[in-house]
Amino acid sequence: MVTKSERYSVTDGTSIATNTSEKSFPTWMVWKKRRYVVAILAFFGFFNVYALRVNLSIAVVAMTQLREVVINGTTTHVREFDWDSKQQGFVLSSFFYGYILTQLIGGWLATKFGGKQIFGVGIAVTAALTVITPYVAKQSFYLLIAVRVIEGIFEGVTYPCIHAVWSEWAPPLERTRLATIGFSGSYVGTVVAMPLCALLADELGWESIFYVCGTSGLIWFVSWCLIISDSPSKDRHISQAELKYIQSSLGQQQKGRDIKHPWKSILTSMPVWAIVVGHFSENWGFYTLLTQLPTFMKDILQFELGATGIMAAIPYLTISVTTQLAGHAADWLQERKIFTTTQVRKIFNCGAYMAQTVFMITAAYLLSPVGTTVCLSLAVGLGGFAWAGFGVNHLDIAPQHASVLMGLSNTFATIPGIVSPIITGYIVTTPTAFEWQTVFFISSGVYLFGCIFYGIFASGELQPWAVDRSSRESVEIEEKKRGSENFAYTYD
C-alpha cells in the first residue's frame, strides 16, 4: 500500500519523511531517544578506543626518561627501558601493524553478525591486553610489540563496525550529527587520557596508566552489552514513534545480513577513492601528532612530563568541540537545502585541509611554546570539519556497504600510523628544530594533496552500484509508468 506520508527519493538516495517526524519527546531530551543513547555509548566507546591507543605515547616518555638511582652509594642516572628513538618509533607504530589487518574483515563481519557485537568485543579484548601490558613490557621488547600488534588487530574492527551500527540507527538527515557524536569520543578520550596518563605516571608510576585505561574499557564493554541493541527493531525500550521514524526515514536503505558487496564497482569508483585519500590525509597529520606530540613538546618546547600531558591534550580538546559543531552545521545546511550533500562534504573537507596546511606550516616556523601550541591546536582541531566530510561520506554513497567502505578507507588511513612514527624516528635523531620542521612540512604536503583529490572526485550522491537489483528493477518499472527520469516513489 502506498502512503503519501513516506517518500523515498531515488535520485539522491535520501529518505524524506513528511508526516513521520518523531514528536514524542522534546528535541533536547536526547536520553529519551534511543538513537542518541546509541550515539552517547558510541562516544564513550571511542573515548576508550583512543585512551587505549594514546596511553603508550605518554607512558613511553616516563618509561625511557633518565632517573636518579643510588647504586652502592653512588648516584647515577639510568633509564628503566633504554630504547633509542628508532626503537620508540617501532613501539609506537606496532599497534598499527595489527590495526591495518582487520579493517575490511571488521566491516564484513559487521554486515554478517551486526556492528554492535563486533564493536564491543574489539574494545574489550584491547582493554584486557592493556591491563597486562606492564608485565609484558618488563619481559621483552619484542613481546611488547607482539601484544600491541594483537591489540591493533582487535581494535581495528571498531571504525568499520560503527558504520554498520549507523546504517541501522541513523536517519539520513541525522547521520552527520550522530556519527560525529560518536567520533568525537576519540578526541575527548585523547584530551582526558594525555594529562591523566601523565599524572598517573608522576604519582603512581607508568604501570598505573595501563591498569586504569584497561579497566575503563572493560567497564564500558559491560555497559554497551547491557544497554544497546543491534537495531531499532530489536530494542525493547524504543518508543513506537521513534521506531517508525527511523524505519520510514531509512526506507530502502535498510540492510539485511545477506548483502553481496560489488567489489569491482567499489574498487573502480572515484568517490570511494576520494574518501580513501581524504581519510589517509587526515590521519597522517593526526597520527603524527598523536604519537609524537608529547616527545616534541618535551624535546623542543622544554615542557616537563606533567605539563607535556596537559599541553599535548589541547589540540584534541579543540577537535572534540569542532567535530560536534561541524556535525550539527553539516546536517543543518542539508536540512535547509542551502547546499547539497556533495557540496557540504567538499566544503567541510577541503576547507579543513587548506586551513590545516597553513597552520601546520606556521607551527613549523614558530617553534615557540605559545605560538606552536595555538597553531597545532588549530591544525588538529579543524580536522573535526573534515570528519563531517569524508568521515560520513560512506553512508551517503552506499549506506548498505558503509561498513566495508569504512574498512577500506581506514585500511589505507592506518598506513600513516605505521609509517609516520618510523619516519619521524629516522628524521628526529638529535633532536633539533630543523628535524621537527621537516616532520611538519611532510604533514602539510599530505593535507594539501588530500584537499585537491577530494575536491575533484568526491560525491554525496547514492552511487548506482549501491542500489540492489530489486530496487533498480522497481525503479525502472516506475520510470516506465511515469515516463520520467527523476521521481520520488512512496512505500509502506
Domain closes at, from 193, 227, 250:
250
Give the pLDDT confidence score for residue 195 in this predicted structure: 83
| Pairwise CA distance, residues 323 & 385, whole Å | 6
| Whether residue 307 is found in the same domain as residue 181 | no
Give the pLDDT confidence score for residue 490 in this predicted structure: 33
64 alpha-carbon distance from chain centroid? 29
| Whether residue 400 is found in the same domain as residue 276 | yes
* 486 is a domain residue: yes
Rg of the chain, C-alpha, whole Å:
23
Domain span at 117? 28-250
Give the pLDDT confidence score for residue 225 in this predicted structure: 94
| Pairwise CA distance, residues 288 & 230, whole Å | 35
| Pairwise CA distance, residues 109 & 104, whole Å | 9
* 3 is a domain residue: no
Give the chain's domain count: 2
E strand or H helix at 70? strand 67-71
| Whether residue 296 is found in the same domain as residue 364 | yes
* Three-state SS at 490: strand
Give the pLDDT confidence score for residue 77 in this predicted structure: 60
| Pairwise CA distance, residues 190 & 247, whole Å | 35
* 19 is a domain residue: no
E strand or H helix at 469? helix 469-482
Give the pLDDT confidence score for residue 308 in this predicted structure: 66
| Whether residue 342 is found in the same domain as residue 393 | yes
Low-confidence stretches of the chain (pLDDT beneath 70): 1-30, 68-77, 252-258, 304-309, 468-492
Which grid cell sits at 32?
529519551
CB atoms within 10 A of CB 314: 18
| Pairwise CA distance, residues 234 & 251, whole Å | 17
* 255 is a domain residue: no
| Whether residue 378 is found in the same domain as residue 275 | yes
Give the pLDDT confidence score for residue 123 in this predicted structure: 96
Give the pLDDT confidence score for residue 369 in this predicted structure: 81
Domain closes at, from 217, 250, 283:
250
Please, are residues 44 and 220 in contact by the beta-carbon 8 Å criterion? yes
Please, are residues 447 and 285 in contact by the beta-carbon 8 Å criterion? yes
Quick one: which of 139, 182, 154 has its CA closest to 53?
Answer: 154
* Three-state SS at 76: strand
* 13 is a domain residue: no
* 449 is a domain residue: yes
| Whether residue 243 is found in the same domain as residue 266 | no
**Grid cell 584486557 in the structure block, residue:** 128
Domain closes at, from 196, 218, 250:
250
Give the pLDDT confidence score for residue 274 in this predicted structure: 98
Write the burial class of residue 96 (CB in 10 Å: 0-12 exposed, 13-18 middle, 19+ buried): buried
Give 6's strand partners: 17
Give the pLDDT confidence score for residue 21 in this predicted structure: 52
Alpha helices per DSSP H over 206-269: 207-227, 240-250, 263-267
What backbone phi and psi angles, to 5 degrees, belong to 257?
-95, -5
Give the pLDDT confidence score for residue 485 in this predicted structure: 39
159: left (phi over 0), alpha (psi -120 to 50) or beta: alpha
230 alpha-carbon distance from chain centroid? 20
Write the burial class of residue 258 (CB in 10 Å: 0-12 exposed, 13-18 middle, 19+ buried): exposed
Query: What one-letter code names the amino acid at 63?
Result: M
| Whether residue 350 is found in the same domain as residue 201 | no
User: What are the residues whose beta carbons fall under 8 Å from the beta carbon of 77, sequence distance 6 or more?
Assistant: 66, 67, 68, 69
Give the pLDDT confidence score for residue 139 in this predicted structure: 92
